[in-house]
Amino acid sequence: MKYLIIEDEVLAAERLLEKIQTLRPAWNCLKVLGSIKEMNEELQNTQADLAFVDIHLGDGSSFLALEKWQVNFPLIFTTAYDQYAIRAFKLNSIDYLLKPIHQDDLELAIQKLERQTDRSHASPNWTELLNSLQPKYKERFLVSSGERLRSISSKEVAFFHASGKHCFLTLFTGQEYLVDGTLRELGEQLNPKQFFQINRKYLINLDCIDELQAYSKSRVKVKTKPALPEEGIVSSERAARFKAWLQGDLSE
């Protein structure tokens, strides 16, 4: 069995590889892929029989590349976020493993795959399956203001920003509230068509962008309404994807 590991966290990829090698030493890991770009390059002509796929990579959702290339081999999804575990997540031998991945759960997933492979070599309807696995994005946030609680729609949020160990959301009206979670966690929960994390400090709503300016080393300076607490520079590693996002292209 030849397989791919699609995982952007190096340590998590190494641990998963070790577990697979322990359980199935005869299997051959073709490659470890850490980005959508690497997936797009590999999936064009891959010889893989199976892939272990982290749903959210640093440069986007792995669903996008899987849909683009219409893979015809089984997938075992991995993620740290259980909001993706919706309809049909174990259809056609697919399993869905929450991180940290336990060896017993991995063994059960592999056994399920092997039983399915023995029964039939027919390719599942990946388009239908992947559509059923698409996440439901977070639409509201519960925040506090003194002794009062307020439910805020994600459409009201201009941007999120990290400050020290805390994260805040700022409304289009300029009001600011403390919110639970890190920017990465919030990015996992929000619609990627509408929100983009430009750097370690800011996760912005497309609709809050007021002006864009060219910056050094192909970076972009973002001005928003309301204004960001500090200068908003799109980091160099995110600049190309940010420009693609502005054009509605989430596959970069």
H or E element in which residue 152 lies:
strand 148-153
Domain boundary (112, 133, 154) is at 133
Q: pLDDT category, 230, cuts 50, 70, 90?
A: very high
CB 55 within 8 A of CB 130: no
The whole-model pTM stands at 0.54
| pLDDT tens digits for range 77-94 | 887 765 554 433 443 346
% of residues, the chain, pLDDT over 70 = 85
Domain boundary (83, 105, 133) is at 133
What is the distance between the alpha carbons of residues 101 and 93, in angstroms, rounded to a whole number?
18
- Look up the domain containing 106 and give its range: 2-133
Domain membership of residue 251 (yes or no) is: no
| pLDDT tens digits for range 84-123 | 544 334 433 467 788 888 999 999 999 988 887 665 555 5
What is the distance between the alpha carbons of residues 207 and 64, in angstroms, rounded to a whole number?
23
Domain membership of residue 252 (yes or no) is: no
- Looking at the structure, tell me whether residues 67 and 122 fall in a common domain: yes
CATH number at residue 63: 3.40.50.2300
Kindly calculate the radius of gyration of the chain based on its CA atoms and give it in whole angstroms.
20
Structural tokens at position 71: 């893979």
Q: Nearest CA to 196 among 151, 249, 153, 150?
A: 249
- How many domains is the chain partitioned into structurally? 2
- Looking at the structure, tell me whether residues 69 and 155 fall in a common domain: no
